[in-house]
Amino acid sequence: MSNEKLLSLNLKIWRQKGNKEKGEMVDYRLEGVSTDSSFLEMLDLLNEQLVEKGDDPVAFDHDCREGICGMCSLMINGQAHGPEKETTTCQLHMRKFEDGDTIVIEPWRAKAFPVLKDLMVDRGALDDIMAAGGYVNVNTGNAPDANEILIGKESADLAMDAAACIGCAACVASCKNASAMLFTSAKISQLALLPQGQVEREQRVINMVEKMDELGFGNCTNEAECEASCPKGIDISNIARMNREYIKAITKTRS
């Protein structure tokens, strides 16, 4: 922390007024960026300067700035959430960059994620996938005592690994096919691993996959860029599990 330095940066940022308008890359020069500041604080600084000049600040999504809400996004130098492993953009710090660097900043790109403005995109498609089955159908008040459902530590831990997904969609952004399989499989895995999820296990995977396909996401080609870009380190074994769950579900005979 005491090794604070100031950086001068060249920024290339995607600017697009609205969903219907055409966008373009615009160059900015930014001086005096502290290496202790986060990537988003760097953008705050740029925006403060833009506002001072009376220009329209760059719109980007962000909220908690603790790496958990999943709202921040950004393709930084062609990588989702930037170069750091298992780090969201809001937790990426400028000490990872060098003085004089050029940084290219773009929005997530996918047919299912229309750009709203500049770097903001609409990720509502992920909510649609969740609504298709990412839950246990249990109404409030129906629950048995929590300790009546015994869950082995290993299953609980694996389910937690999958449940750690923050829904930021870096998996979609980094996938060369804009596939949402890692996101979808994480939820399917979590519930398939837990006894609570068993009753709706088959229908869930069918419905969620169907919805995912319908929304225009691409197909997985097993390149694992999603896993590599995931700020929460969600494993592609979840995708394998979903593949397995799906084939089991569609071949299962119903009595």
At closest approach, how far in Å is the CB of 119 from another protein?
11
- Closest to 211 (Cα-Cα) out of 121, 111, 134, 120: 134
| Close Cβ partners of 119 (under 8 Å, ≥ 6 residues apart) | 13, 14, 58, 59, 60, 61, 73, 74, 105, 106, 107
What angle separates helix 124-131 from helix 181-193, to the nearest 10 degrees?
Answer: 30
In whole angstroms, how close is the CB of 16 to another protein at the nearest point? 10
- State how far the Cα of 78 lies from the Cα of 216, in Å rounded to an integer: 22
Compute how many residues bind another protein; rule: CB under 8 A. 134
Q: Which is nearer to another protein, 100 or 169 (CB)?
A: 169
Minimum CB–partner distance for residue 170 and another protein (Å)? 10
User: Which residues between 169 and 188 bind another protein (CB under 8 A)?
Assistant: 174, 176-179, 181
Shortest Cβ distance from residue 203 to another protein (Å)? 12
Q: Does 132 bind another protein (CB under 8 A)?
A: yes
Distance CA(124)–CA(171), nearest Å, equals 15
Out of 27, 100, 146, 255, the residue judged to bind another protein by CB under 8 A: 146
- The whole-angstrom distance between residue 19's C-alpha and the CA centroid of its chain comes to 21
Per-residue string for binding with another protein, 70-109, x by CB under 8 A?
xx---x-xxx----xxxx---xxx-x--------x-x--x
Sheet holding 24-34, edge to edge: 24-34, 6-15, 102-106, 75-76, 79-80
Please report how close the Cβ of residue 101 comes to another protein at its closest, in angstroms: 13
Q: How many Cα atoms are found within 13 Å in the side-chain-facing hemisphere of 151?
A: 20
Q: Residue 9 or 117: which CB sits closer to another protein?
A: 117
Given candidates 7, 74, 112, 234, which one binds another protein under the rule CB under 8 A? 112
Binding flags for another protein, 225-254, as an x/- string (CB under 8 A)? xxxxx------xx-xxxxxxxxx--x----
Q: What whole-number distance in Å separates Cα of residue 43 and Cα of residue 73? A: 13
Residue 8 vs 221, nearer CB to another protein: 221
φ, ψ (nearest 5 deg) of residue 147: -85, 0
